Amino acid sequence: MKVTFLGTGAAFPDPERGQSGVLVTLSNNRHFLLDCGAGTTRQLVCAGVDPADVELICLSHLHHDHICDFPAFIITGWMFERQNAPILLGPKGVRHFSEHLFEDGAFKGDFLARSHYQARKDNIEAVRPDIREMEPGCVYQDDDIKIIADWVEHIPREISECFGVRIEAENRVIAFSGDTAPCDAMIELAKDADLLIHECTFPESFIEYRKKTGVGIHAHTSPNELGRIAKIANVKTLVATHFGHFDSTSPVLKKAARNHFPIDLMGPHLFDEMAADIRLLYDGPLTFARDLLRVEL
């Protein structure tokens, strides 16, 4: 089994990172996609994977940096001769999201133009996802793979649900946090996992800054907290991801971030601080994800 990180950034467009997207590929070449933020479809191609070969996509929550490439993913699959409806898992609201995109939604013009041709009529199922809104528990299972999901704590649930997932396949376990503050549900999903893929959006020093300046609530996991989660869950390997652009040197991003961060302190050196803080409680293998990183399990 193999994990390919397609996008490792957060909500801003980032010259160095795509938005959230993680591909799980089994040894028999079955592909399962977690999240579909900006650039995910192109990154699949960069990774040598045909988007039409991805049979299931699971959206952790409906923030745009986790879903906004979904229309491109579906329409590309349609153009690339996908023959079956892709399975779409997501929180409550994902049905509304998907059903308002294609034949009677935002991309109706594209749908009408392409479906005018016989070749696209012949595989029209490709643009009609098999939508399944998730409830906590087992959300998908077949002979090769089991996917378990639970609510995590990121957006108040009454506004919009957020899920973390646990994937069991080939006698291995992968856990993926989506976006979340530290929570028991994620620790449970990650219990004894071979690989925990967990968000770590800001370094501790930036979180302190945000608290002092009153910039928004911090509904993410800090490096100290992530170390504690990895330790308690007893994970074998930890990959941190969903970095909130604190490492960027882009003048455009610095301008956009000036009300959120101490922008003079931004830069890649902050990964040293982040590693030291995760390491306060977790001493296993640790990797900071970058786009197109592959992890073999």
Q: Residues in contact with Zn ion, total (CB under 5 A)?
A: 3
What's the min distance (Å) between Cβ of 125 and Zn ion?
30
Estimate the share of the chain in helix, then strand, then coil, as percent rounded to the nearest 5: 30, 25, 45
Cα separation, 232 vs 152, in Å, equals: 17
Nearer to Zn ion, 179 or 247 (CB): 179
- Alpha carbons within 13 angstroms on the beta-carbon side of residue 152 total 29
Both structure tokens of 71: 């229309």
Give the x/- contact pattern for Zn ion in 45-64, rule: CB under 5 A: ------------------x-
Residue 141: Cβ within 10 Å count: 11
- Whether 51 and 45 have beta carbons less than 8 Å apart is answered as yes
CB-wise, 14 or 277, nearer to Zn ion?
14
- The tokens describing 159, both together, are 């506004």
Stretch that binds Zn ion, among 25-33, 72-80, 172-180, 254-262 (CB under 5 A): 172-180
238-257 burial by CB neighbour count: b if 16+ within 10 A, else e? bbbbbbbbbbbebeebeebb
Which one, 158 or 264, has the nearer CB to Zn ion? 158
Q: Cα–Cα distance between 183 and 201 in angstroms, integer?
A: 15
Minimum distance, C-beta of residue 67 to Zn ion, in the bound complex (Å)? 10
Q: Which is nearer to Zn ion, 9 or 77 (CB)?
A: 9
User: Which C-beta is closer to Zn ion: that of 65 or that of 69?
Assistant: 65
Q: Which stretch binds Zn ion (CB under 5 A): 82-90, 98-106, 171-179, 286-294?
A: 171-179
The span from the CA of 22 to the CA of 197, in Å, is 9
Supply the minimum distance, in Å, between the C-beta of residue 10 and Zn ion. Answer: 5
Contact criterion met (CB below 8 Å) for 8 and 243:
yes
Q: How far is the CB of 124 from Zn ion (least distance, A)?
A: 32
Say if residues 193 and 229 touch (Cβ distance below 8 Å): no
Q: Which is nearer to Zn ion, 6 or 169 (CB)?
A: 6
Nearer to Zn ion, 11 or 148 (CB): 11
Compose the 60-89 pattern: x for residues touching Zn ion by CB under 5 A, - for all others.
---x-x------------------------
Of 71-79, 176-184, 227-235, 250-258, which part binds Zn ion (CB under 5 A)?
176-184
Minimum gap (Å) between residue 293 Cβ and Zn ion:
18
We find the least distance from the C-beta atom of residue 154 to Zn ion, in angstroms, to be 5
The sheet with strand 2-7 has its strands ordered as 130-133, 87-90, 54-58, 31-34, 21-25, 2-7, 294-296
Element (H, E) at 26: none
Residues 8-27 that bind Zn ion (CB under 5 A): none
Q: Which is nearer to Zn ion, 63 or 260 (CB)?
A: 63
Nearest approach, Cβ of residue 145 and Zn ion (Å): 24
Instruction: Check binding of 179 to Zn ion (CB under 5 A).
Output: yes
Separation CA 244–CA 5 (nearest Å): 16
Cβ at position 219, least distance to Zn ion in Å: 8
List contacts with Zn ion (CB under 5 A): 63, 65, 179
